[in-house]
């Protein structure tokens, strides 16, 4: 390879914290810079720089993502009280992912990376299951109270002229609890469109489920909005792409998912997504093999690994000890972003490079060379534990043969 691949337009690069920041640089040095004239709009979202810029850098990175359409993000620390002390922060800055998601109004799609030798706990799952979680409302924005005996609880809605509509929740004869939850048509519609667009983009079927038989107004609204948008805007496109949308009850969906071979997107209401994404992720094996992409309703993509900054490994690294941290999900964040950039700009070499880098990464693990987290999961006989850097060098050896 003499000529490096050129990128006519940049991707937004968001650097991060701790062990993932170390891996970020290694991935660039070993697997990307030798082959690509990387064109990135760089933002340092490391906690030190977020603190220096009073978190403006996070907002700037999100705005740049809107402009360029594609971003890749390293894992970042979400500060808590310990971190405020550790980094001497002027404020407990908010989660960067939360800030970026709010600006892009996006939905997160999480997909496991499937490799031979690591069998899911549900062994019939041959292909990945992608979970899309609605990120607004329901019990995450609830209002709840405890209720004493001999009280009447009602729902009250007051319109702008002060007229009240009331509905009985329960007449309490003994103490109990109540909860008020809400959602917004616009947010549900934007979730539905993002899901349908993403399904078309990756050419996979999409399932959505709720409990509309019991919740005849609330959950039914979700079902109706999905069905209407599908029928009016997507049915023809789905038929042309040979993919399917189907709605079912949440309990039926769970049963079907467990019996399935995988290979589809499962769109979930907020709580269902919280619970089911942990179920699916655990079943597929390792956090180090879970990729993630935030997609906005207008088609902006931000790729990242689903795991955090792998703090414990970072402190070992700082002490000069050998680490064996899994870079696969972060590599796939880069390949996702590079492939998307290639598709948008019609740069075939970039798409093909992304495919080959993914292939080389999977080949390395399937050849038995893997990081420590995967050793207990792999059923291969000849497996060897590689340190953080050696694993990347082994991937590069295979990549060179593919290029
Ligand atoms: P974590 O970094 O995902 O790590 C949890 C544990 O999972 C690690 O200690 C490690 O286990 C294992 N692990 C995760 N990723 C791994 C990898 N790539 N290779 C090998 N092992 C891996 O989560 P956390 O410890 O809860 O959070 C650490 C920091 O990350 C926090 O400051 C949090 O705010 C941040 N965070 C950021 C994001 C994001 O930016 N998207 C997401 C989650 C958390 P062992 O230590 O047992 O080896
Ligand atoms: Mg959860």
What does the pLDDT read at residue 297? 86
Instruction: Write down the pLDDT at residue 346.
Output: 97
Region label for 382, one of left (φ > 0), alpha (ψ between -120 and 50) or beta (otherwise): alpha
Pairing of β 301-305 and β 290-295: antiparallel
3-class secondary structure, 7: coil
Instruction: Name the residue of 303, 309, 321 to mutate for ligand 1: max ligand atoms within 8 A of Cβ.
Output: 309
Q: List residues bridging with 261 in a β-sheet.
A: none
Tokens of 9: 């337009």
User: Which residues fall within 8 angstroms of residue 200, CB to CB, at 6 or more apart?
Assistant: 234, 237, 238, 241, 243
- Please tell me if the CB atom of residue 310 comes closer than 6 angstroms to any atom of ligand 1: yes
Q: Tell me which residue of 265, 288, 295 sits closest to 277, measured CA to CA.
A: 265
Residue nearest to atom 36 of ligand 1 (CA): 308
Q: Which two tokens stand for residue 324?
A: 């064996």
Q: pLDDT digit string (tens) for 120-153? A: 999 899 999 999 999 888 998 889 999 999 999 9
- CB of 312 shorter than 6 A to ligand 1: yes
Low-confidence stretches of the chain (pLDDT beneath 70): 1-2
Q: How far apart are CA 151 and CA 147, in angstroms?
A: 7
Return the best residue to mutate from 45, 77, 100, 287 for the ligand 1 pocket (most ligand atoms within 8 A of CB). 287
The ligand placed nearest to the CA atom of residue 74 is: 1
Return the number of other C-beta atoms located less than 10 Å from residue 214's C-beta. Answer: 11
Ligand 1 atom nearest the C-alpha of 73 is: 40
Output the pLDDT for position 102. 85
Q: For 163-284, where are the E strands, in sequence order?
A: 164-172, 176-180, 206-210, 245-249, 265-268
The pLDDT value recorded for residue 202 is 94
pLDDT of residue 252: 96
- For the CA of 76, the closest atom of ligand 1 is 40
Q: Is 76 in the pocket of ligand 1 (CB under 6 A)?
A: yes
Encode pLDDT of 289-324 as tens digits.
999 999 998 889 999 999 999 999 999 999 999 999
Ligand 1 pocket residue status of 268, Cβ below 6 Å: no
Residue 212 · residue 253 · CB < 8 Å = no
Strand 290-295, strand 107-112: pairing: antiparallel
Pocket test for ligand 1, best of 109, 135, 310 (most atoms within 8 A of CB): 310
Q: Is the CB of 380 under 6 A from ligand 1?
A: no
Q: How many DSSP H helices and E strands does the chain contain?
A: 14, 18
Residue 2 is predicted with a pLDDT of: 58
Q: Please report the pLDDT score of residue 287 as a whole number.
A: 84
pTM: 0.92
Instruction: Note the pLDDT of residue 135.
Output: 84
DSSP label of 138: G
């Amino acid at each position: 390879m003499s000529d490096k691949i050129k990128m006519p337009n940049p991707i937004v690069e968001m650097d991060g914290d701790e062990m993932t920041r170390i891996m970020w640089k290694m991935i660039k040095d070993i697997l990307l810079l030798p082959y690509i004239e990387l064109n990135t709009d760089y933002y340092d979202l490391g906690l030190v720089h977020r603190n220096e810029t009073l978190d403006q850098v996070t907002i700037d990175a999100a705005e740049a993502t809107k402009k360029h359409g594609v971003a890749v993000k390293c894992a970042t620390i979400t500060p808590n009280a310990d971190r405020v002390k550790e980094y001497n922060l002027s404020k407990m800055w908010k989660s960067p992912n939360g800030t970026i998601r709010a600006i892009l109004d996006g939905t997160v799609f999480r997909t496991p990376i499937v490799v031979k030798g690591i069998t899911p706990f549900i062994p019939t799952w041959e292909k990945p299951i992608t979970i899309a979680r609605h990120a607004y409302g329901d019990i995450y924005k609830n209002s709840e109270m405890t209720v004493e005996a001999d009280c009447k609880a009602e729902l009250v809605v007051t319109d702008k002229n002060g007229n009240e509509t009331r509905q009985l929740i329960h007449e309490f004869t003994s103490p109990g609890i109540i909860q008020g939850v809400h959602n917004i048509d616009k947010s549900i519609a934007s979730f539905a469109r993002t899901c349908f667009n993403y399904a078309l983009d990756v050419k996979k079927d999409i399932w959505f489920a709720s409990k509309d038989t019991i919740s005849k107004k609330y959950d039914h609204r979700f079902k109706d909005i999905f069905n209407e948008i599908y029928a009016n805007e997507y049915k023809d496109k789905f038929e042309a792409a040979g993919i399917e949308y189907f709605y079912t009850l949440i309990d039926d969906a769970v049963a079907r998912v467990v019996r399935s071979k995988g290979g589809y997107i499962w769109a979930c209401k907020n709580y269902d997504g919280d619970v089911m994404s942990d179920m699916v992720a655990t079943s597929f094996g390792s956090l180090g093999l879970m990729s993630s992409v935030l997609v906005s309703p207008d088609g902006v993509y931000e790729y990242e690994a689903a795991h955090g900054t792998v703090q414990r490994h970072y402190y070992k690294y700082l002490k000069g000890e050998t680490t064996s941290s899994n870079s696969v999900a972060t590599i796939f964040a880069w390949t996702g972003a590079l492939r998307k950039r290639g598709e948008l700009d019609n740069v075939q070499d970039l798409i093909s490079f992304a495919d080959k880098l993914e292939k080389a990464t999977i080949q390395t693990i399937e050849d038995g060379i893997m990081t420590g987290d995967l050793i207990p999961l792999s059923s291969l006989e000849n497996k060897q534990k590689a340190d953080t850097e050696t694993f990347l060098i082994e991937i590069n050896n295979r990549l060179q043969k593919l290029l």
